[in-house]
């Protein structure tokens, strides 16, 4: 292992990373536990694993509670295994308000794949993050990718519009809707529509499935129509019924148009067609070169998130040094100071450190 991150690893963590890269599921589980707990050294571990990522297709499965996400993920994993792919699943559960842990973490959710070592399942806490995804989840995906999983599936909480965070971690996003979900359709119109690469009407054997399919098709049509006034983002390109049906000529100069499909997860109906659509979207991303831009945007947002978190920690420590936020708020209430002055006082030492670092860098770069 080369690079500054690897050099900062302890000997024990270096051995742990090597074990992950050598295919040890036990080491993988330990690394993800370290990531989820944000234990000391986890950043160096993830940083070292980063250079080994990029091989997995990352699929996000989102949608409202009750849409059948867990059952569909179970069937998807089984279908991927039938064709020889290895699978990692990160199921993001609601956070316990007391411990921060996953409330539903010990439920049995992958019944079709019990005992299959090539399906690695991990239930993680959302830890209160918007969209049901925390930085720990993104790091866990990196660990599964570096481990060598062919497909990584992220199943999210299903918390409405906030699920947009999933698009920052997944290459392909599937939004599940159940028949007769009039309110869900309205929610999609309000926001989630924009992140979906594939829309899935699950439980398609129920009454109202055809109407829900028609409503989704209309929504996608309006999204892609130039006269609709909707920003279509980076998606377009009509998905084929099967990956082999799409010629290379069709991949160039076109955009991905979100596909609307149906499944009955309880029986596995439609799962193969759904995987074919996922494959088509993955191929589109590669052939169009858009996967590189998608990753660039994802890493840019990750950098911003990490920097905000680190600066926030520094600011919190400085607030404590000034007596704590309650004391500062009381001083503002008594008109002894004001919020802007307090903020400036808190940030001043951090700003001074940055200025000194810039001056030192300029001094080193200037000629003698």
pLDDT in tens, 186-243: 656 556 677 789 999 998 988 888 888 888 888 887 766 645 443 433 444 444 444 4
Question: Does residue 305 sit in helix, strand or coil?
Answer: helix
First and final C-alpha spacing in the chain: 36
**Buried-state track 26-61, b at ≥16 Cβ within 10 A, e below 16:** ebbeebbebbbeeeeebebbbbbbbebbeebbbbbb
Cα(49)–Cα(54) distance, integer angstroms: 11
Tokens representing 210 are 């055809």
pLDDT in tens, 75-129: 999 999 999 999 999 988 765 444 444 444 434 455 666 667 899 999 887 555 5
Q: Assess contact for 195 and 175: CB atoms under 8 A.
A: yes
- Residue 347 confidence class, pLDDT cut points 50, 70, 90: very high
Q: Assess contact for 149 and 99: CB atoms under 8 A.
A: no
pLDDT at 242: 47
Domains and CATH numbers, the chain: 1-52 (no CATH), 53-288 (3.40.50.300), 302-365 (no CATH)
Q: Say whether pLDDT at 162 is over 70.
A: no
pLDDT at 136: 85
pLDDT at 264: 93
pLDDT at 235: 43
């Amino acid at each position: 292992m080369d690079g500054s991150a690897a050099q900062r690893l302890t000997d024990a963590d270096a051995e742990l990373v090597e074990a992950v890269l050598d295919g040890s599921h036990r080491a993988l589980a330990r690394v993800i536990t370290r990531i989820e707990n944000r234990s000391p050294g986890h950043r160096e571990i993830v940083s070292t694993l980063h250079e080994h990522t990029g091989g997995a297709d990352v699929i996000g499965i989102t949608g409202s509670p009750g849409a059948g996400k867990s059952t569909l993920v179970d069937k998807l994993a089984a279908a991927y295994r039938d064709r020889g792919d290895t699978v990692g699943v990160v199921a993001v559960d609601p956070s316990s308000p007391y411990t921060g842990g996953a409330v539903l973490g010990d439920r049995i959710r992958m019944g079709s794949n019990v005992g299959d070592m090539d399906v690695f399942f991990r239930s993680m806490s959302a830890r209160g993050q918007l969209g049901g995804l925390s930085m720990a989840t993104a790091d866990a995906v990196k660990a599964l990718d570096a481990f060598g999983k062919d497909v990584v599936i992220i199943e999210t909480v299903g918390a409405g519009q906030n699920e947009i965070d999933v698009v920052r971690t997944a290459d392909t996003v599937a939004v599940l809707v159940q028949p007769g979900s009039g309110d869900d359709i309205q929610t999609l119109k309000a926001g989630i529509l924009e992140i979906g690469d594939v829309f899935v009407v699950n439980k398609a054997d129920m009454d109202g499935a055809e109407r829900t399919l028609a409503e989704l098709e209309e929504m996608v049509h309006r999204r892609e129509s130039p006269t609709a006034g909707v920003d279509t983002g980076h998606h377009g390109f009509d998905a084929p019924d099967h990956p082999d049906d799409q010629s290379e000529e069709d991949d160039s100069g076109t955009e991905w148009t979100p596909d609307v499909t149906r499944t009955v997860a309880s029986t596995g109906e439609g799962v193969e067609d759904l995987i074919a659509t996922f494959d088509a979207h993955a191929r589109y991303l590669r052939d169009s070169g858009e996967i590189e831009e998608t990753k660039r945007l994802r890493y840019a947002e990750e950098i911003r998130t990490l920097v905000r978190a680190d600066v926030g920690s520094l600011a919190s420590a400085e607030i404590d040094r000034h007596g704590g936020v309650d004391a500062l708020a009381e001083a503002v209430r008594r008109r002894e100071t004001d919020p802007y002055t307090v903020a400036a006082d808190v940030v001043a030492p951090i700003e001074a450190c940055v200025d000194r670092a810039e001056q030192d860098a300029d001094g080193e770069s200037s000629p003698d």
